[in-house]
Amino acid sequence: MSEEKIWPDKTDSDLWKEVRAAMVEKYGDRFDDAHMRKVFDLTCEHFEDYVPRSRFFKKALMNCVWERPIISKEQQVY
């Protein structure tokens, strides 16, 4: 049996809640809601057709790190 495919729709609030929960589970409070929502929207825009659920989530989680804001040297904590 093949994996469930989803339509990556930015207006799908249930999908957004699931992706947000996955990001919070993986990264904790490292990213704020505005950043996670931006990443979700970018991930939806990336796909033009139905996509396997695991592929969508993997891409969204990866984008969360790759699209994070750059911090200045003054903001860095060692």
The reported pLDDT for the residue numbered 69 is: 63
pLDDT digits (tens, 9 = 90+) for 16-71: 999 999 999 999 888 889 999 999 999 999 999 999 999 999 999 999 888 766 55
Please state the domain extents for the chain. Answer: 5-66
Residue 1, pLDDT above cutoff 60: no
pTM above threshold 0.85: no
**What is the chain's Cα-based Rg?**
14
Q: What angle do CA 26, 74, 62 make, to 5 degrees?
A: 25
Confidence category of residue 75, pLDDT binned at 50, 70, 90:
low
The reported pLDDT for the residue numbered 66 is: 80
- Separation of alpha carbons 2 and 45, rounded Å: 24
60: Cβ–Cβ under 8 A, 6 or more apart, which residues?
Answer: 19, 22, 23, 39, 40, 43
